[in-house]
Structure 1
C-alpha cells in the first residue's frame, strides 16, 4: 500500500467507523448513510487503512484488521490509548518521526520539523497542502493516544506536539513486545503427516509369456499397498490371497 498521509478527518470519526465495522464489517454505502459521504468519509477510511486498522475489498466492504479489532473492542480509556499508540508507532510516517525526536533528545516537535522529516529524510513526496493538514492530524491523534500534548500554533508560532515524558519507555515496550511475538513455524513443521511418494512400480505376471505389468503411482504408501493387494487377489502378483 502506498503512503498517503492521513488528513481532513479527526479521531472521533475514526472511532465511529471502527464501532460500525464491528462483527462482520460494514458496506461503504451503509457508512455513507450513517456518516455522510464525500471527502470526510473518504479521508477517514484512508486514515484507518494507512494505520492498518481496516481492510477494504474493492473499496466496498470495510472489515476490521486484528489491530482494528483490538482498538474497537478496547474496554477502557487506558486500553484504547494503548492500542491507538501501538497503531501510531507502527505506521512509518508517525513512528519514524517519534523515534527521530527521541534520538535527537527533543521534548517538543513542531510542524516544520515534521515536514522536513517526511519530505526530505523519508522522501514521501506528498503534496504540500496534504502535508500541512496531515501534521495537525498527526499531532491530534498522538494527543488522543497519550503520546504527547497538542499545542495549536498562535501568534506566528507553529503547531507543535509536546512529547509525553514516558514516550521512550512506551516505544521500547512496543519493540520488546514485537520481538517476543511467535514467528511462523518453518515449512518443514507444516508438512503433512502422510506425504505422497511418487514412483514407478513393476510386477511380473506369472506364466510362460513373462508379461510385465508396470503401474505408475503418485499416492501415499497406504494406497500403494491397496493396489498390490488387489493385483495379488486377481492372480497378477504371486503371494497369498
Structure 2
C-alpha cells in the first residue's frame, strides 16, 4: 500500500509499471488514459471436497462456490490497489489459477492488470463506485472507447459439473457406431448455460448494455475426466453517447526497396 501511495499522481515519483505491450500502451494513451501502475490481487484458497453420484449429471455446488469466491477475492484486492492509485479503471486484466505442490486442494488465484486514469475528468467508474475492469487488450480497448462505449467491469460465471459415467451395457452398445450420447450432451449444455446465466446476472447488476469479448472455457483442473469447471467471462459495457462512430479500416502498403 505504501508503494502504491507513492505512485499516485502528484506524488514525488512519476514512474508507472505496466504489463501492456508497447503497442497496447500507445493505444491506451491514444484513447485518453494514462497508466498508473501494475495492480494485482491474490488468494490462496482451499478448494473443498464434494462427491458426485457416479451415474448422475449434477452441479457440484461446493466446488462452484469455491472457484467463484476465490476469483472474486483476487479481483476485489486488485480493485483495492487501483483505488489506492486513484485509478479510473484497470485494463488488460488476467485471471490465472495455479494448484500448488504443497497441497493438492490448495490453489492460488491471481488477478493482475494495469491501472489507468483518464486525461479528461469524467464518470468512468461503475455504478458500485469501483474502478472499471476489462480483459480487453489495448487495441480492443481503444476501438471500444473510440466508438463511444465504456467498460464497466469484468463479469464472470462458474459452474463445476460432474458428468455421469456411461453404464457398461451403454458403452458396449455404442462400440463401432456413430451415435449421440444424450447424457453427455445434456450435461455439457446445462453446465455452460449455468455459467452463462451467472455471468449475465453480474452484467445486469452493473446495468450494462451488453457483454463483449466473452470466453466460455472448459477447465478440467485436477478433478479427473468427469468433473469439469465451465467458466464464462467477458467485459460488460455501457454507451458513452447516443451516436457510435466506427472507425473505418485503412489499407496500408509497406514500401520495399527492390
Higher relative strand content = 2
Higher relative helix content = 1
Q: TM-score, normalised by structure 2?
A: 0.24
Greater C-alpha radius of gyration: 1
